[in-house]
Structure 1
Amino acid sequence: MSLPWNILLAYKLLIRLLRNEPERERYCQYIFYLLLRLMSVYSVKLEREQSQGRVDCIVETPQYVYIFAFKLDGTAAEAMRQIHDKGYARPYEADPRSVHLIGVNFSSATGTIDDWMGTTLPSSHKG
């Protein structure tokens, strides 16, 4: 079996053992981070502090910025609302890169992503 497959199998087993929701949601974030790092993505930041809260995950490449919000047993729409309500994209308003917002929901029942949605900010969002 490949390494990513083994990681996902372990994830499915462990998520069922974790009892409280914040701990389970954080565990999902770390698995996501680990998979991105294994793929050698340029810059991955978890729980980056901002004035309105902490962004779950930001991935930066030379041409793109991806801002993720994660929910556990919620909806992708709730995750997207969190990105907008807390202004997670504000620090990138003057950034020339294309900024993508992505809301993701993890299912504790299946141990997988069961819902996601994304949008690209229009270039007019930049200063």
Structure 2
Amino acid sequence: MIDILTKINQKINFQVSLNKKIEDINFILCSKKVFLEDKEIDELIQERKNLESQIIKSKLSFEDKFNDFIYTYADINEAEDIEWFIKDVIPNPSIGVVYGNSGTGKSAIIIELCNQILNNTNHVHVIYIDADMSPNNGMTPS
């Protein structure tokens, strides 16, 4: 029995190590490419292909892959109550992204929601990042 456990653990560890190596290669190719020669880049790309070919593909059907995402009535009925920062809008804890066209009022709505959270909740931090604003529209140093 121990032999099969050892064998399965080795198989799992090998698959995990493959994914880790692929992540490392992707990181290097995305962020550290400037330090590499063309030949090294090509070698890394080839190594990634070799590693990807060794990954075990799921044998589950399309439907079976999503069974954990489908909730039964009992699951929903027995679910814990949700704590809200803003009732029925923002759960606690949460991370969110709001996106849309420029000038549609995203910032105004989000700043109001942030104010509500900060005024009505103790021990909470809000980080607001406006990725829509160009440097010309923002504050400039004096």
TM-score bin (small chain): under 0.3
TM-score when normalising by structure 2? 0.22
Larger Rg: 2
Tell me: higher relative CO, structure 1 or 2? Use CA pairs within 8 A at least 6 residues apart.
Answer: 1
TM-score when normalising by structure 1? 0.24
Structure having the higher strand fraction is: 1
